Structure 1
Amino acid sequence: MFTAKDVKELREKTGCGMMDCKKALTESDGDMEKAMELLREKGLAAATKKAGRIAAEGIVSSYTSDDASVGAIIEVNSETDFVGKNADFKAFVGALAKIVADSNPADLEALNALKFDDTKTVEEELREKILTIGENMKIRRFARFEGNVVTYIHGEGRIGVMVKVEGDLTDDAKAAAKDAAMQIAAMNPLYLDKTTVPAEDLEKEKHIILAQMKEDPKNAGKPENILEKMLTGKVNKFYELNCLNQQEFVKDSNYKVEKYLAEKGIKLVDFVRFEKGEGLEKKEENFADEVASMMK
């Protein structure tokens, strides 16, 4: 039904104890998502989204045209973080971002087939980099926006954000859009706005909130109308934590993000956030064994 590896994975994602994770997996018949919900309902896992993902290496890079009318963001993975600091590797990933912006490939297969330069395709250049640098590499994902686009790279390629806005992209507006991108990098919102939260996600969240309220003995005997007000308050808090427009603006707590941008004459209509290696299993090796194998 489930394995010790599943228990370990659930523990890493929720921060809960091993026995609690095992019990949740038993109750959910091994369904990881349901087990996470059960732990949250019992107040054992408070996170609103998956956490503790194991990182892989590489970098996230971006490109924006001079007139900010098109932008692209891309993640390329490598085996070690040393490669992510390699100037040749950085230049390669940056060139890929420009190719995505210029050529608008439909998917990774289409990107690999595009010309990298006059003599090689992207796929051929990737193979050459693998041979030259000596590590396996993989183009993982990319995104492209047309319109008024601003990009932001944090931590030398650890996180990349691209935003699309409506309104004139004046110098002040561009600075505000970058501030929003930095907020996205730091706060990792799940949704753009409370109106964009899927009904299924909202119902799931309400179910979890109600279950937590019932678990709390302080709520015993409270009238239904009071519980409804509490539910509304907690849902609003969910919006404030997970919806970019409803989040408190980090640089000025007097503003919500949406209001801050509006005062700068722009409205954020879309965003994408890539964090290097999120959701990927990082290769784990015994250091002593690795050294021994190198000596052989």
Structure 2
Amino acid sequence: MLKKNSSENIKELRNKTGAGMTDCKKALEASDGQIDIAIETLRKKGLASADKKSSRLTAEGLIQSYIHAGSRIGVLVEINCETDFVSRQPKFHQLAKDIAMQLAACQSVSYISKNDIPENIVTYEQKLELEKEDLLNKSVEIKNKIANGRVDKRIKELSLMDQNFIKQTSITIEELIKQHIALWGENIKIRRFERFLLGEGLEPKKNNFKDEVSSMIQNT
């Protein structure tokens, strides 16, 4: 029987989670050597300290692509981590695929987080809401309260981190990222993305039947 903190157990837990050796050892000791419980312990611990890791440099990672069925929508996304060890993990690759798929599904998303949304867009949305007809006869206090609520909802629609994860709608993308920070004990960031829609920006050709017939007659 393996000891709860044997090198074999520690190695197995590290391979499954990518967490540091010391963290793996402590988690196994706390779980009496049970791998599944140790994994949950690492995840919970990481969730509690995820915000502390948010300032740490993320220079590794990968660029993931997703092409939706029918090849009419495509996404490229760059997701970063701290070490190449984590960037090689199958679960990290799956996370990147899930994020790319989310971006394909949520076409209203234009920014990674609310903090990335320019102030002029927020101001414009506030002005738009305050001028809507259903608020004209409201008091200033009520008008501002309703408008602010609508603006907040609109801003969340633009933010990837505020979207419900399409594979598990009980959590947001931000919570999904924090779960993986918990899993590996290092910072993870979605750096940038680009969405491609087939034919976007092109003016469809409009055939003028009358002009076409006239041209054919003149050429006969």
Q: TM-score, normalised by structure 2?
A: 0.57
What SS does the corresponding residue of 1:264 show, helix, strand or coil? helix
1:184 equivalenced with 2:106 (yes/no):
no
Task: Give the letter for the 1:272 counterpart.
Answer: E
- Give 1:88's aligned residue: none
- Aligned counterpart in structure 2 of residue 216 of structure 1, from 134, 156, 163: 134
Query: What is the letter of the counterpart of residue 198 of structure 1?
Result: P
Q: Deviations over 1:2-36 (max 9, x none)?
A: xxxxxxxxxxxxxxxxxxxxxxxxxxxxxxxxxxx
Q: Which has the larger radius of gyration?
A: 2
Partners of 2:149 and 2:123 in 1: how far apart? 15
SS in 2 for 1:253: strand
Question: How large is the RMSD of aligned CA atoms in angstroms?
Answer: 2.7
Q: TM-score, normalised by structure 1?
A: 0.44
1:173 aligns with 2:92: yes
The answer (yes or no) to whether the contact 2:126–2:148 under 8 Å persists in 1 is: no
* Structure 1 or 2: more helix by fraction: 2
Closer, same or farther: CA 283–227 of 1 in aligned 2, 3 Å:
same
Out of 190, 198, 207, the residue aligned to residue 276 of structure 1 is 198
Question: 1:261 aligned to 2:177?
Answer: yes
- CA apart distance, 1:147: 4.6
Q: Pick from 50, 55, 65 the counterpart of residue 151 of structure 1.
A: 65
- Structure 2 distance, partners of 1:256, 1:271, is 18
Alignment-derived partner of residue 153 in structure 2: 237
Q: Which of 242, 248, 273 pairs up with 2:164?
A: 248
CA distance in 2, matches of 1:209, 1:287: 44
**Runs of 5+ unmatched residues, structure 1:** 1-145
DSSP 3-state at the match of 2:126: helix
Letter in structure 2 aligned against 1:164: E
- Aligned-pair identity (%): 34
2 CA distance for matches of 1:172 and 1:287?
56
Matched position secondary structure for 2:131: helix
Greater RCO, CA 8 A, separation 6+: 2
Q: Is the 8 A contact 1:240 1:248 kept in 2?
A: no
Amino acid at match of 1:233: G
| Contact 1:159–1:273 (Cα < 8 Å) also in 2 | yes
Q: Structure 2, unaligned stretches of length 5 or more?
A: 1-59, 182-187
User: How many pairs were matched up?
Assistant: 144
Letter in 2 for 1:279: G
1:285 partner letter: N
* 1:228 aligned residue: 144
